[in-house]
Structure 1
Amino acid sequence: MNLSCVPYCKKIKAFSFWGVPLFLLSFLTVVLAQTPSQNQPPTQNQGQNSSATTNKPSAGTAENRSAPVVANPLLPPGVPGKPIVIEEESDPLEDRLDRTITLDVREMNVIDVIKFLSIKGNFNLVTGGAIEGRVTLYLKNVTIRDAMDIILISNDLAYYVERGIIHVLTETDYQAMFGKRFNDKLEVAIFHLDYAKPSYALATLENLKSSLGKIVIDEDTGSVVMIDTKQALEEMKQALLTIEKPAEVVVYSIQFAKAEIVAEKLRARIDTNAVGSITTDERSNKLIVRAQPGRRKEVEEMIKSLDVPTKEVLIEVKVFQVILKPQFDFGIDWNLDFKSSDDPHIRDLTIKNLYLNDASPPSPLGSNFNRIAVGSLTAGDHFEMFLRSLKQVSDTKILSSPKLLVTNNEEAKIHVGDTVPYIISTTSGTGDNAITSEDVRFVDVGLKLNVQPVINDDGFVTMRLAPEISTVTAKVSSKGGGIPQINKTLVETSVMVKDGMTIILGGLKKDNKVRTEKGMPFLMDVPWLGNLFKYASDSIEHTEIVIFITPHIVYGHENYADLNGTVKGNKEIDPDAAPLTKGLKLKE
């Protein structure tokens, strides 16, 4: 044990003799090296390095991979401000360059404008040396890509994309790097239109630009920015000079149609961008068109086709009351009765039956037992011959013969009969406070006929017919008086006939109670005593209402004739009154 301990003890004694001085010397050296001199204050870089040493994260941390930091381009150089941090985007760069912006700058440095675009598009940007220039422009609703092309090409600059970063450099540097020009000899031209609409000019320029060209328009300022080759720009400039002419203002007097309706149809059928504007004056029924001179002919042709006289139909109606003889109590079979006539002309008279479309089987005109049937006289038959035939089978009485001039597809109404008044009493309140008020109302009875003609292109007229016959059968007693009880027969149908052909409506039967008095002449009229010399009898009179309707198409410049062929009027229109001859050209 003692022998083995001797060498170890010698080592401890050696460290105690030399180790203490050496340790103290090393400690003092380190302290003196880290203590700044009192005569030399720390520099600014030393202070920054000290701060960076404290706050800077170690390499490889997540903070080192944070979004890039760029200076604020909206602040003057040298002015301190908060830096702009461009956050990472998930959208591709192409989509970000297609975002639309509005740009309004005045004599701004081109680098600051490009930096502003990088902030809007949220993309990384690197600018090369020798980039200079000033930018003055106003662009509205354009893509960032188009804005960059306009700004860079107009300042002889270029850019390229590498690894998602846009590098901006001069045209000379771009050509030296890639061996070709950036814009492939593209140039920028800006036009300001005072008369033509940019959207209308765009449609023309799109057909003239090359495959490399771009066109940007602004409706508010009337600006057209074109980027293309020199040759294409010259062609587009000539096209703009042709389009950019003072517009003409022409006032058209609309004679037949409504100006507002014509204006609506014009806006729907032509390009309003090409015309300019279409307005109306409701008071004078005039159309005010502001258009390019080359478009005036197109507008006038459309107005001429729209402002035409409205077709009308002259409807001639004759209403007859036919008092049926006993053998015709069930109605008249026109064809059968005409064939048995002694008059050869009447025997040759034929009627074409047009049956109603209802659930019951069709029946000839007049033999359908309380049903309404429709027929028409064939071409070549005479109306007077038909009336003469009625006298052989019944006693006829004409009730009404109105004539109506109706606009195409409009409804006409005819009423032949009476307006029966009746009183409706209304009591409000109770006891002594009860108040009774009376309201006089009216109901139309007799014959009603609603006719709506529709003119077809082939000379036929489609007639929508709604005949109605009504009578007062009794009165329902009420506090204010009697309320009439109406017996009504109504049917609706449509018939298509040729212009000038007569339509016959039959089967409108009505039974009337007739009181007949007979007695000794003069004595039966003596008051009080006359009843001794007379007697009265009641009978039922069977009548049938027959309606004849003849439509005549009136074109506005032709005469129209009555049923018997006589000319009843002239509605000819002066051809010199055409709307286009009334056009008044104004200077804008």
Structure 2
Amino acid sequence: MNTPRGRSTARWVTLALLLVASLVAPARPAQAALATVTDVSVKEFGNKVLVAVVATRAVRYRVADWSGKPDTWVVLDVLGAELGVPAGELPYRSRDIARVRVGQFNSTTVRVVVELAGERSYTVQPVTGAYAVAIVIAGNGPSRPTASAQPVPPSATAQAQARPARFTLEFRDARLSDVMAALARLANLNVVVAPEAAERRVTIRLVNVSLDEALNLLTQPLGLGWTRVGGNIVVLPADRLPGEPLEIRYYRLQHASAEDVARQIEPLLFGRRLVAPQPAATPAPGQPQAQPPQAQPAAAPVVIERSQVAVDRRTNTLIVVASASDHQRVAQIVQQLDVAVPVSPVATRIYPLRWLNADLRAPEGGPAREIGAEMVALLKAHLSPSAIVTFDYQNNAVVVTAVEGDHQRAQQLLAQVDVPAQQVLIEASALDLSVDVARDLGLQWQMSVLNIAGSTPSQGQVFYNPSTGAIDFFVQINALISQGKGRLLANPRIVTKDGQAGEVFIGDQIPVVTGVTPQGVPQVVFIDAGVKLNITPKINPDGMITVRVLTEVGVARQFATGVGKSTRKAVTTLTVRDGSPIVIGGLIRTEERTTTIKIPLLGDIPIIGFLFRREQTTQSTSEVVFVVTPRSLPRSAEPRG
């Protein structure tokens, strides 16, 4: 019968053939029309010896024979091939093989001669998936009778049972179905060969072997197997061999869903096998026993799934068809999964936001309202699907309806997100300096590369970052102001949140009459004449501050239709160190001054007073310079309540 030892031997032979296939190098076209034999090797696997001949492409072969050839020689001719390895004897000896020789028999034939140590059984067949031919030689077993056995007559049944029959067969390039038919006639039993195996070609010599040995030698080198079904032999691919008998067991679950558990079990129970169904219904340990169906007569073997899992939704029961060993695994999985899970009560809690603000009055889709939607999306992504999250815009709070575990995660997330934003102090100074003084300071009104990185300023605006350092720069500016060489026009300071814009306006609001109402009341509008700085700071992770500066210069002008406003704008983005000043220049102002010099009293006499006074007109050019210094303020350390 097909014993576990026989299956183990089958695995050894299959492993040997796969190893030969893995050693075959990728096929390369030979320079001539002949294939090249690249390797001849001998390997031992269990009680068998494998002689493999590897070529560069598919080849034909034959087992040579001639008059006078010793019966212990196996001569393999590889046709249409040339030898690519050294000719001669291989360094191999064993109790089954005396020696192995290889050589070029003629210009188109490579000959491999295996000299056996005695009469041995062997098979010759190509290796599936490789350009190779293998000679599988059965090892020397226990002593055997010298005479070959004949078919056991009915009268000799008792003697055959006492001593199993032995057979001697020899076939060359025969169909497996024909060889099995001959063996069936000798053994006086039925042999059924699967259709996918019937046309396999085999060259074999069996010497005084038992029925089991003959079946193993015929099937194992071809990747096949066999099993007994009653008094019959069935030959089929090895992956469809039967294993342990299958049993039907019922697992009634108390807590877990049977469908969910089935999805966990099915990936663990796989494969196909040929079995004779034995529906012995055996309840799992600890499960209620179901009434098994009445035993049926042994049926013909059929191919079914190795393990099958069905679900009875009405009773929440698993119905598993599997082997006893697989049922042990199923019982372990069911024991671990079918447990009562404590259900936490659902509660609704309100989490007011302390630092983030979602203003209900903000326009739909505006920045303020997006905060509420983003908070809801953030919490839903990290909480369980059953959690309900909404936002209360009236109270600026998050409302969560969920179990206790979700509430704990929500609190942890809010503690990390709802934190005070870092603030930035922006100091803006407007200075009136003469062009010569600015040049003396070294302000060349070009982009410095030492402490600044950003986009090139627009024409009409000049940005500068002092290379002498913030402290030295402010010291020099204060010295010029104290010496009267410059004037501080304005020094506003604003504080804005990180990432939010702050605005500074330095100038005047000029009233302009645009018309008169029917009641005679003049209509007045105010024009901003001056410089408006819109500054948006952003603190980077490395401590640098990226500043976006929008500069707008407005001047009141007289047009044909009345007084209007002339505006120039420039936008740039800079990255500076914390506390490093940014200088904005390019606002040139020309001023004419008329000075009257006179002799007191005499210069004021009408008509002749001009004789005692004179007027002197001077013109001066100055430049208005804006110094913007961003400074990051410490973040509030107040914890969330």
Structure with bigger RCO (C-alpha 8 Å, 6+ apart): 1
Alignment TM-score, normalising by the size of structure 1: 0.46
Larger helix share, 1 or 2 = 1
Tell me the TM-score normalised to structure 2 length.
Answer: 0.43
